[in-house]
Chain A
Amino acid sequence: MEWIVGILIVLVVIIGIWAIAQYNGLVRLRNLVQEAWHQIDTELQRRHDLIPNLVETVKGYAAHERATFEAVTQARAAAAAPGNSPAQQAEQENILTQALGRLFAVAEAYPELKANQNFLALQQELTNTEDRVAAGRRFYNANVRELNTKIETFPTSIIANMFKFVKAEYFETEDPAARQAPTVQF
Chain B
Amino acid sequence: MFPDPGFGAGEGLFGAVFALFPIFFIAVVGFMIFAAVKGYQESKKRKAAIAATVAMHHLGHIPEDSSRVGYFASAPFGTGDSRRARDIVWGTLAGRPFETFAYSYETHTTDAEGHRSTTTHHFQITWVPLPGPLPTLKLSSDNALLRGLTHLGARDLKVESHDFNQRWKVVADDERAGHAVLTPRMIERFLQPDVMGRTFAFEGTALMSASPQVSDLGDLQMVVSALHSIVDLVPRFLFEDRSGGQPEGLGEAV
Contacts and interface: CB of A to CB of B under 8 A. Distances in A.
Interface string B156-195: 0111100000000000000110011011110000000000
Contacts of A138: 159-160, 179-180, 182-183
With most chain B CB atoms within 10 A of its CB, the pick from A128, A135, A175 is A135
Interface residues of A, number: 15
Majority SS of interface residues in chain B?
helix
Interface residues of B, number: 16
Interface in A128-162: 128, 131-132, 134-136, 138-139, 141-142, 145
Given A141-B160, A142-B159, A135 B235 contact: yes
B38 interface: no
A177 interface: yes
Nearest to A131: B235
B96 interface: no
Contacts of B58: none
A142 B237 contact: no
B158 A177 contact: no
Nearest to B187: A138
Nearest to A135: B180
A135 B235 CA distance: 9
Interface of B: 157-160, 175-176, 179-180, 182-185, 235-237, 240
The 5 closest A-B pairs by CB, nearest first: A135-B180, A139-B179, A138-B179, A131-B235, A139-B176
16 contacts: A39-B176, A131-B183, A131-B236, A132-B235, A132-B237, A138-B159, A138-B179, A138-B180, A139-B175, A139-B176, A139-B179, A139-B180, A142-B157, A142-B179, A177-B184, A177-B185
